Structure 1
Amino acid sequence: MVSWVPLLAIALMCWIFSAGQPLRLPIAVWNEDGGSPLARQLVRMLDATPGLRVQAEALNRGEAQALLQRMQVYGVVHIPPGFTHDVKRGASATVTLLHNAQLATASSLVQRDVRQVVGTLSAGVQMQAAAKRGTPAQVLAVRLEPIRTQLVALFNVSTNYEQFLATTLVPALVHILAMTAGAWSVGRELRDRTLGQWLERVGGAGGVLAALLGKLAIPMVLLWGSALAGLVYLSQLRGWAVAGSLPWIACALAALVAVSLAAGAALAGITLSLRKAMSGAGLLSAPAFAFSGVGFPLLAMSGGARTWAEAMPYTHYARLQLQQWQMGAPVAQSLPVVAGLLLATLVLLALASAGLARARRLPQRWGAR
């Protein structure tokens, strides 16, 4: 769990997001306008869009509903009867997209691409009609779009999921493994009644701390090395160049692994139970990514959820990594994050050492599950 399994899990994570962007999402077309040229052109444009693939044609409402419920497609584009006739006589025609909003990412991408295709087709129809009325070509673009919106993406310009999801999920995975390793390595001594043998040659609190550091050293090096290997692979071999400092990210990653191990050890030392320590480690580490602000905006969370998120060490590490990797923020801006993680590590190690010193005096508590 601290050697080849993390490497395998990180490799799997990188492979899952290696595509970068979701392309060729399957949709269906429910065409009630028959074989009209304009309807066929719309279907061809939908299928030619890189993000979409017309996988099926529904003949009626029942087939369209069945395709969505069986999750064979992410959306159904409905072309109403009389679509071409309405457009030719200058009336308004509506193309309806029925989409599964339960799958939020796929739904938003399908909506974006369908809206773009329909808007392009609509603009083409308007330009042809205006040209037939004698409007000069130079005036058409200005009349159709007198006010334009310019969107400038400063970071993750290609909106690539590998760049921001894979790079943040790798440390999140190691955060879970590290907290589990800390709880397991200490809690196992309690469960197997070997705590006395482990600590029999150490002195006071300082000796207990030294023994704890020795026990956590191996998972610290292995898990930090695994996570760093994943980030180096993404930055060097996959080409996602770090705008800031990769060594500083590595230092922050080491602090995250350290505080995770210390938290797991503290849970075992305080509860004197492997079962409770493992349960606590899962409760604290598993939802850390969901509350980090990477997937759901931190500023949009409720007060209680944001307080919980700010209490999690991974939230602060994720912000530091995004600032360094994509934004190129100054190192001084993230110094408080690393200092806070190191301070939390020292406090948790002190709590774990105090708990182990207390447990050494309570042999009747050993062997609890």
Structure 2
Amino acid sequence: MNSPEVQKLEGISESQAPISESVAKSEGNATAWCTVAGGWLALFATFGYISSFGVYQDLYVLSGTSSSSNISWIGSVQVWCFMAMSLPAGSLLDKGYFKCVVLLGSIIYIFSLFMLSLVNIEHYYQIFLSQGLGMGIGAGMIYTPAMAVQAHHWKARRSLAMGVVITGSSVGGIVYPIMLNNLFNSSVGFANGVRASAYLTMGLLIVANCLMSAKPRGDITGRPKAKLGDIFGDKPFLLVGGFGTFFICWTLFFPYFYLQLFTNLHGLPSTFAFYTLTIQNGASIFGRTIPNLIADKLGVLNVFIVVTFGAGVLLFALFGISSVGGVTIFAILYGFFSGGVLSLAAPLMVSFASNDSEIGMRIGVSYFINSFGFLTGPPISGALLGSQINWDKPIIFGLLFLLDQSLCFC
């Protein structure tokens, strides 16, 4: 194999260089698998819970807390904080503060979740502060380090390892909607239901913090740490991982926020509506592993284009859906393709890294830019939906940007 100096002269980054068979075989020790397991639990408790916001959206709208557009700001701010915190969290990971960042994020996240159980559901600002800001900031301090730290332990099967970790959010997206819907619509009620989910989440994050580990500072490559200015000067990275994925994030979460409400307002059984998010998140388990497995062989960007295009085409199908079978098929397929988009985002950013010491910052920069798409996208969809609940406008808004960006990436 070429020396690092020759690779640098030829413009070949370390992350793009051929992987030797000895490196591939050395992967998968106990520490690596424990970190995968810990990351899986962390995403179950954070991204999985956030993916279940449609349950809260439906509850708040039908309870008269505020309009659908205003309520969607809670979820979008939560996702914005979740993604925006990736920049400082990723940078601190690269500097060797992995354990401290994840522990602090866990404390903030759990505290905010318990505070949500104490709010008055009629007081919008209380929900916004605890669920939108508090939980979003705490989850953001956990998410990027839990994903990026996998690159410390994996190389030849890095995309697959990250894909396995992010399936935790899919399983969490199955468990939490069922749990919350059944608790909220029983004698347990809102406050005790949220509190029960908080105890479960706290236990998962305690185990996750114990399992995950990072390589010591300076033990990754021995090279200087990445500079923010150099990353912002990387035009291909910004075009794909910044502005390109921004427009995808603008519209990707529309069904996650509104599918349960869509089902209820189309006159379908409410007992079925409770499980739409569960079906969607269940299907995304396969979407967050199979595309990543293929990406390790065919290229991350190539597979990313396919799943983005698929998600856009599926939004078009919402125009003709009005039955239980139609919603079920949509939830399964959209869960698969949107899961592929979400799971391939981190490996796509890693593919631009010149060495492992800048992985956390590159993911952080990309997620920070994308966070503004998550912040504004759901409220725009809610405003387009309007008080008369017209589904045509938000559907067209979503499918146009997903299809457009897949073609731009081509």
TM-score category of the 2 structures, normalised to the smaller one: 0.3 to 0.5
Higher RCO (C-alpha under 8 Å, 6+ residues apart): 2
More strand by share: 1
Given the two structures, how large is their TM-score scaled by the length of structure 1?
A: 0.33
More helix by share: 2
Give the structure with higher Rg (CA).
Answer: 1
